[in-house]
Amino acid sequence: MDLKLDHYTKDDTEVVVVEGEIDVYTAPRLRELLIDLVNKGNFHLVVNMEKVEFLDSTGLGVLVGGLKRVRAHDGTLDLVCTQERILKIFRITGLTKVFGIYESVQEAIDKRKTN
Amino acid sequence: MALVQLTISALPAHVRTARLMATAVARRAGIAETALDEIRLAVGEACSRAVEAHRAHCPDQPIRLELIDSAVPRPEGPQGGAPAAIPHNGNGRSAQRFEVVVADRAPVSDPGSTVNHHAAGGTGIFLGEQQTPAGGVSGLSPDVGLAVIVGLADEVSIEPNDDGTVVRMSWPLGQSEPENTELVD
């Protein structure tokens, strides 16, 4: 399926909801959204990937790019993902050590606030 | 040997087509369900890399895929002679395998060189002040896609030559649980 993007504000965090496939064709849309959110002053992001069906290294690159942007403003970009098929690419590339990966949006927000 | 050949234009939209085709052929070949996701991702990575290379160097040239099921009895060669050659795979084994070959025609900066599967810093991740190398997606080395392929495929060879790069990936047929390879400690 194609990529669906949505976002909403929860506490002081902007939650991006991603649904579908993130690949070389669709990743630019996610990149544009993340850039737009950061440009509008949202420096604490949570990307909910629970409905992502496919993610490749292009998508990883967009997420890493988003992380770089928020870090430039002392911000955070965390992920919500419990799907093994999606988590696998994070493990293979070692990105589990770079991103905070949580089981729910609330857990991601709570962790950031306690750190 | 059963063979499916696919030629795609160097367009990002066609990478998904290639992924779907590879997954369908792999499923028909009898690949374990657990390995289908790996094949889908590895083929997507190989095609994405090829598409990006073509868009940079030769956008009008097509990218060629071959999906090879070696379990099917191989047809006789021309004039009823010897059967066609068994496709090459990483360690030369000729067991029943599902092989995917992705061939691009983009020029290689250093033909014959070995691809660096372990990019700078071990992960190929460029955060902070580090600049992403040319050809990389934001924050990631262009080698990460190849590293993912190496991590997913049971056997893989990446062969740069004067005509482009040929990525060969294969998985055993009728396998049980594929190994989960970690590239980074």
Tell me, letter by letter, the H, E, C secondary structure of chain B: CEEEEEEECCCHHHHHHHHHHHHHHHHHHCCCHHHHHHHHHHHHHHHHHHHHHHHHHCCCCCEEEEEEECCCCCCCCHHHCCCCCCCCCCCCCCCCEEEEEEEECCCCCCCCCCCCCCCCCCCCECCCCCCCCCCCCCCECCHHHHHHHHHHCCEEEEEEECCEEEEEEEEECCCCCCCCCCCCC
Confidence grade of residue A42 (pLDDT, cut at 50, 70, 90): very high
Residue A72 has pLDDT above 60, yes or no: yes
Confidence grade of residue A96 (pLDDT, cut at 50, 70, 90): very high
Q: Say whether residue A68 is in contact with chain B using an 8 A CB cutoff.
A: yes
Residue A110 has pLDDT above 50, yes or no: yes
Average pLDDT over residues B64-89: 59
Q: Decide if A23 and B140 are in contact by the 8 Å CB cutoff.
A: no
Choose, out of A34, A54, A56, A99, the residue to mutate when testing the contact with B (most B CBs < 10 Å).
A56
Residue B111 has pLDDT above 60, yes or no: no
- The residue to which tokens 């990446």 are assigned: B158
Beta-carbon count within 10 A of A102 CB: 20
Structure tokens that stand for B9 in this block: 């234009």
d(CA B120, CA B141) in angstroms, rounded, equals: 8
- Supply the pLDDT for residue B1: 77
Residue A23 has pLDDT above 80, yes or no: yes
Q: Decide if A25 and B144 are in contact by the 8 Å CB cutoff.
A: no
The residue that leads in pLDDT, B180 or B149, is B149
- Supply the pLDDT for residue B126: 59
Look up residue A80 and give its amino acid: V
Confidence grade of residue B137 (pLDDT, cut at 50, 70, 90): low
How do strand A4-10 and strand A44-55 relate by DSSP bridges? unpaired
Q: Where are the domains of chain B?
A: 1-73+149-157
- Which range (A48-57, B27-36, B83-92, B96-105) has the least confidence? B83-92
Beta-carbon count within 10 A of B76 CB: 11
Average pLDDT over residues B20-39: 93
Burial class (CB in 10 A: 0-12, 13-18, 19+), B105: middle
Confidence grade of residue B79 (pLDDT, cut at 50, 70, 90): very low
Confidence grade of residue B141 (pLDDT, cut at 50, 70, 90): confident
In which order are the strands placed within the sheet that holds A44-55? Answer: A4-10, A13-22, A44-55, A76-80, A100-102
Q: Nearest chain B Cα to A89, which residue?
A: B148
Q: Which residues of B touch A90 (CB under 8 A)?
A: none
State the DSSP code for A95: G
Q: What is the CA radius of gyration of chain B?
A: 17
- The neighbouring-strand residues paired with A7 are A16
- Which range (A11-20, B64-73, B147-156) has the least confidence? B64-73
Residue A82 has pLDDT above 90, yes or no: yes
Average pLDDT over residues B141-155: 89
- Supply the pLDDT for residue B85: 39
The residue that leads in pLDDT, B128 or A66, is A66
Q: Decide if A67 and B127 are in contact by the 8 Å CB cutoff.
A: yes
- Supply the pLDDT for residue B183: 44
Q: What is the CA radius of gyration of chain A?
A: 13
Contacts of residue B40, Cβ cutoff 8 Å, sequence gap at least 6? A54, B19, B22, B23
Q: What is the pTM of this model?
A: 0.80
| Cα B146–chain centre separation | 8
d(CA A48, CA A52) in angstroms, rounded, equals: 9
In which order are the strands placed within the sheet that holds B155-161? Answer: B2-8, B63-69, B97-104, B164-172, B155-161
- Supply the pLDDT for residue B121: 38
- Supply the pLDDT for residue B134: 52
d(CA A25, CA A48) in angstroms, rounded, equals: 20
d(CA B121, CA B133) in angstroms, rounded, equals: 13
- Supply the pLDDT for residue B161: 87
- Which range (A4-13, B33-42, B71-80, B96-105) has the least confidence? B71-80
- Supply the pLDDT for residue B78: 44
Q: Decide if A57 and B145 are in contact by the 8 Å CB cutoff.
A: yes
- Supply the pLDDT for residue B129: 56
- The neighbouring-strand residues paired with A17 are A6, A48
As its CATH architecture, domain B1-73+149-157 has 2-Layer Sandwich (3.30)
d(CA B26, CA A108) in angstroms, rounded, equals: 37
Average pLDDT over residues B37-50: 95
Write down the mean pLDDT value for chain A: 96
Q: Decide if B137 and A57 are in contact by the 8 Å CB cutoff.
A: yes
